[in-house]
Chain A
Amino acid sequence: MPRFTHVHDLVAPEPPDVCELAAFPVAVVPYALAALEHRIPKYIWDSASYVRGVQLIRSLQMAILCGGMVDLIESNDRIYRMLDTALYGTDYSVISTDPLVVEPAIEATHALTIEHPDSLLGRAEDLRQLLQNGLNGTATTLYDRELGIRDLLELIKAAVEASDTLDPDMLAKLAEIALLLG
């Protein structure tokens, strides 16, 4: 195998520096740090490039030591779980902190299933059923009043029409309310 020979009189590229995000196995960090250290000595750089060239090398050493991808991915997962809990009511539990294990695991897709009535979708469903039952008297899972507001208004209107004390204004208003309710 040919021996790798470092280039001398290196000229550092001019700014701007384009940056990329990379995932890497942390186990390789010690080897990468040491390998990059071979590019630090002054004599391998063109004298005008020395400071900038070394800063480029140091910035990469710093980047692989500071990492951040795990934090970034975990922050994405945290946002997903927050939305999942808020929207669907999914209840997550931290099983361990090192490494962080949270259950249930995040799946590739999410079924349209309300997991808790206090979630946003759960409350929206509650409102939908309340309106259906309240307005029309439709029996739902949560509400089962026999008569809805429309039915009650019709009964009131009929009762008023049947009475001796007919009030045209009151009848007109009841008819108007019934019309507004659809």
Chain B
Amino acid sequence: MANSPVIAIGLSFRDRDGNSAKSTIYCVWATPIADAWTLAFGIGDRMLALSNALLYQIELVYRHTVDSPAEPGLDSTVERKILMLVTNTDEEINGMVIPSPGDVFEVVGSYAGIRLDLAGAGALGFADMLLAVDLRTDDNRSFGTTLAAGGLAL
């Protein structure tokens, strides 16, 4: 199947009982983000004209599916995860979960097989990435630039 990147526009509605429902439509990948937001709000207005629920959230998702992906590794298991803990300059700790960790854990010591080897190539690359990009939390705080720890989460 050919890769078909799109922007998904999600519009979430809430009824009198607090129940939520999301309506999702799509626009072309190349749509500039400002135009995509304008489009999303315009669609929201049109939907509200057809609905008596409350529109309370709009989200844009840039979706890209890998074209003809290779076979996953034989020992890959997405239920196993690694929790990456990152600190920001406000001394807050934020977390990111990555599924199916490879051989990235310490191999000696009491945390062998459990704790991320911060000296490993993958961890060092991740730490470099944190310094290069301005990641945010879901409430727009700084996610952080220092990879402080990581560990297997089951």
Q: Is A31 an interface residue (CB 8 A)?
A: yes
Question: Could you list 25 A-B pairs, sorted by A, with CB under 8 Å?
Answer: A26-B110, A29-B111, A30-B151, A30-B152, A31-B154, A33-B151, A33-B152, A33-B154, A34-B81, A34-B83, A34-B154, A37-B95, A37-B97, A50-B139, A51-B92, A55-B92, A58-B93, A58-B94, A58-B95, A59-B93, A61-B95, A61-B151, A65-B150, A98-B108, A98-B109
Q: Mark A36-48, 1 if CB is under 8 A from B, else 0.
A: 0100101000000
How far apart are the CA atoms of A127 and B70 in the complex, in Å?
Answer: 79
- Out of B110, B138, B148, B150, name the residue touching A67 (CB < 8 Å): B110
Q: Categorize the interface residue count of chain B.
A: 20 to 34
**Bound complex: CA A26 to CA B111 (Å):** 7
Q: B95 contacts A40, CB within 8 Å?
A: yes
Task: List, in ascending order, chain B residues with CB within 8 A of A67's CB.
Answer: 110-111
The distance from the CB of A144 to the nearest CB of chain B, in whole angstroms, is 54
**A70 close to chain B: CB less than 8 A:** yes
**B115 near A65: Cβ-Cβ < 8 Å:** yes
Interface residues on A, range: 20 to 34
Q: Are A30's CB and B114's CB within 8 A?
A: yes
Interfacial chain A residues near B111, Cβ < 8 Å: 26, 29, 65, 67
Lowest 6 CB-CB distances: which A-B pairs, in order? A58-B93, A33-B153, A34-B153, A30-B154, A65-B149, A30-B152
Give the chain A neighbours of B108 by CB distance below 8 A. Answer: 98
- The 8 A CB mask of B111-133 against A (1 = contact, 0 = none) is 10011000000000000000000
Could you tell me which B residues sit within 8 Å of A by CB distance? 81, 83, 85, 92-95, 97, 108-111, 114-115, 138-139, 141, 148-154
- A37: B residues at CB distance < 8 A: 83, 95, 97, 153
Tell me whether A66 is interfacial, beta carbon within 8 Å.
yes
Contact between A33 and B110, CB atoms less than 8 A apart: no
* A62 adjacent to chain B (CB < 8 Å): yes
**Which residues of A sit under 8 angstroms from B92, Cβ to Cβ?**
51, 55, 58
For B93, give its contact among A29, A30, A31, A55 (CB under 8 Å). Answer: A55
* Also in contact, A42 and B95, with CB within 8 A (given A30-B114, A61-B85, A65-B85): no
| B139 pairs with A29, CB closer than 8 A | no
Which residue of A has the minimal Cβ distance to B116? A65
Check A30 against B95 for contact (C-beta < 8 Å): no
